[in-house]
Amino acid sequence: MKKLKLLILAWLSIVAVTCIEAQEKIRVGLGSISLQSGLVHIAKDRGLFAKYGLITESVYIPGGSTNVQVLVSGSLDLSQLSGAPGVAANLEGADLVYFLGLLDKLNYQLVTRPEIKSVEQLKGKKFAVSRFGSSADFGMRALLKRVGVDPVKEATILQIGDEPARIAAITSGNVDGTVVNAPFGSEAERLKLNVIADSVKMNIPFFNTGMLGSKRYMDRQEAKVMNFLRAYLEAIKILKTEREYSIKALAQFTRVQNLKAIAEGLDYFNNQLQPVPYPSVEAMQAVVAQIAETNPKARGIDAKSYVNERYLKRLEEEGFVKKLWGK
């Protein structure tokens, strides 16, 4: 009997090792700790990546420009970023393509110190972004332009770091304002800061958040990319249909204890998020156009070359999406 138990344990160990070896590893970069990035956390927390044979390692690398450098080096397989870093890298010879787009409108809010209460007071002030060339940098410049402030001649833009670091710089008085992911209303109220401008209300086309990888990697690892997308689309369904769980999961991921702020952000995000989030050519073209203002290499670039819909289309054609949503 004892010998039989030992044989069973040995067999189970072999099966466990075989299952682990059967799973493929994929490394995903996250450019921010945001609700959008929380989809990867939900997919891991609910075992969706494992369901499709993947061991997914997510790595937080603040700032889109730094993140995309790591992606281009091959130390990451995929990344979740805004459109700007990928476009900038492609202009320098990279072969990156966005195969999924979560948000196709600029969703930043311009937040300032309590003393600054109107757009007229913005000229000559100091503003914080994560890094030059990042989505926060592009968002800051776009918002300043929309409210009539020249970001080059009438403002000082400083590289400070991620969103918590930028907020800390405002509350300490080192800068006068920054951009934060919308909605930030309840958190701004708690910190006694002012929301001066809201890009959501301005309806500014912009490739805000998407998933990208190198064309070479995606061609060679197509099956792995497809399995990643299957898990990711299931995570989107959970986010859109399981509100209570999603609030708790996103609070855990972002380490934000203010559940009211998480719920506010979740509802806002859900209103924009599509069940099958195709990358928007129009939103990407807006990114290219803004980069072209300072980089001649971007002039005449067709944004279609920077997006690829075929992976999501395959999932729809094979019936995966219909089965997932029961429609």
- Dump pLDDT digits (tens) for 112-140: 999 999 999 999 999 999 888 777 888 89
Supply the Cα-derived Rg of the chain in whole angstroms.
Answer: 21
- Dump pLDDT digits (tens) for 210-227: 999 999 999 999 999 999
Low-confidence residues of the chain: pLDDT under 50:
3-21
Cβ burial of 235 (10 Å; 0-12, 13-18, 19+) is: buried
Residue carrying structure tokens 């951009």: 179
Residue 97 has which token pair?
């393509």
Which sign does the torsion angle of CA 52, 56, 62, 68 carry? negative
**Beta sheet of 108-112, edge-to-edge order:** 155-159, 125-129, 177-181, 108-112, 194-198
CA within 13 Å, CB half, 75: 11
Phi and psi torsions of 126, nearest 5°: -100, 135
Tell me, what's the pLDDT at 11?
A: 44
Domains of the chain: 22-103+207-325 (3.40.190.10), 108-203 (3.40.190.10)
Tell me, what's the pLDDT at 242?
A: 96
Q: Over the chain, what is the mean pLDDT?
A: 88
Tell me, what's the pLDDT at 12?
A: 42
Tell me, what's the pLDDT at 271?
A: 86
Tell me, what's the pLDDT at 2?
A: 52
Distance CA 166, CA 169 (A): 5
Tell me, what's the pLDDT at 19?
A: 42
Residue 211 has which token pair?
């998933």
